[in-house]
Amino acid sequence: MTDIKAVKDYFLNLQQTICTELTAIDGQSDFIVDQWQREQGGGGITRVMSEGAVFEKGGVNFSHVMGDKLPGSATAVRPELAGRSFQAMGVSLVMHPHNPYVPTSHMNVRFFVAEKEGHDPVWWFGGGFDLTPYYGFEEDCVHWHQMSKQACEPLGEETYSKYKKWCDDYFFIKHRNEARGVGGLFFDDLNEPGFDKSFEFTRSVGDHYLKAYAPIAEKRKNESFGEREKTFQKMRRGRYVEFNLVYDRGTLFGLQTGGRTESILMSLPSDVGWYYDWQPEPGSEEERLTDYFLKPKNWLA
């Protein structure tokens, strides 16, 4: 038995809680609130912060959309769902900081139900969170993964390593042959433990995002930086954009379902750079990011 209202109430509360804490970390800007309706059914609340003291651009999006049939991005993975109506809801966020020493962070929790007359509903949860540093700090990666592991406790001992690997595999920029960041958690199609347990786990992931990110942002937001670090940050943001537009399933799903483009593409940073055949200086912190931090590893070893 699924409880769609309970899921929606949790997602709306999570959006508000996260925005309140991130506003406090920024200390200057607040999120503008943009409520919208979708012609084909449903709508959402987009909250966007720009030109804050800490966050150059960030968005925390809630959406609850529905339709008569699932798009190709969903039925390609699950062909048995073709011809079903659907409801999809979730919270997704990306925060892009000014300071290159503060990582970009991403979090997403979502719930899908696909229905067809005469058949049982098919439902599942998905989501996760991941961290994209520009300059690596060992203790930040360890803390992020400690919180990732803690988030997995409702589903037992093996869950963290399974969903960590899924995250490492998913957030990989194939055409660059490099990871997007230092990973975290990624899960999808979760329904096997039953609704209550799956929902409990999804709540745990949503609730651990701030525990994972807030201490890192607070610790790094006052680090001094110069033009070199900003140039490198812009180049790395370009890799972020490449992943989101080429591989990200949530972006593709949103665009293929006629979703609200402004909300779907709020994850893109405002200031990005592409530099032809850019190479880091040997032995530099920029080289260390890709040679050490962006190689999948057991941060909790």
- Binding residues for a divalent metal cation, as ranges, are 96, 106, 145, 175
C-beta of residue 72 within 8 angstroms of C-beta of residue 256: yes
* β-bridge mates for residue 132, sequence order: 104
- % of the chain surpassing 90 pLDDT: 79
C-beta of residue 74 within 8 angstroms of C-beta of residue 84: no
- Binding residues for substrate, as ranges, are 92, 108-110, 258-260
Q: Where are the alpha helices (DSSP H) in the chain?
A: 4-26, 72-75, 138-151, 159-170, 195-220, 227-246, 249-256, 261-264, 285-288
Distance (Å, rounded) from C-alpha 115 to C-alpha 268?
33
User: Between residues 101 and 78, which one has the greater pLDDT?
Assistant: 101
Question: Of 156, 152, 159, nearest to 204 (Cα)?
Answer: 152
pLDDT tens for residues 69-96? 776 766 677 777 777 888 999 999 999 9
Q: What is the pLDDT of residue 73?
A: 66
Does domain 4-293 fall into CATH 3.40.1500.10? yes
C-beta of residue 107 within 8 angstroms of C-beta of residue 187: no
Cα–Cα distances (Å) from 73 to 43, 61, 62, 119, 268, in that order, read 20, 20, 20, 22, 21
What average pLDDT does the structure give for the chain?
A: 93
- Binding residues, as ranges, are 92, 96, 106, 108-110, 145, 175, 258-260
pLDDT tens for residues 123-143? 999 999 999 999 999 999 999
Return the active site residues: 106
The residues spanned by each domain of the chain are: 4-293
Q: What is the pLDDT of residue 256?
A: 82
Distance (Å, rounded) from C-alpha 202 to C-alpha 200?
5
C-beta of residue 115 within 8 angstroms of C-beta of residue 84: yes
Distance (Å, rounded) from C-alpha 253 to C-alpha 92?
13
Distance (Å, rounded) from C-alpha 85 to C-alpha 157?
36
pLDDT tens for residues 239-249? 999 999 999 98
Q: What is the pLDDT of residue 115?
A: 84
pLDDT tens for residues 18-65? 999 999 999 999 999 999 998 888 999 999 999 999 999 999 999 999
The tokens describing 195, both together, are 């609704």
DSSP string for residues in 50-110? ES-SSEEEEEEEEEEEEESS--HHHHTT-GGGTT-EEEEEEEEEEEEESSTTSPEEEEEEE
pLDDT at 152 over 90: yes
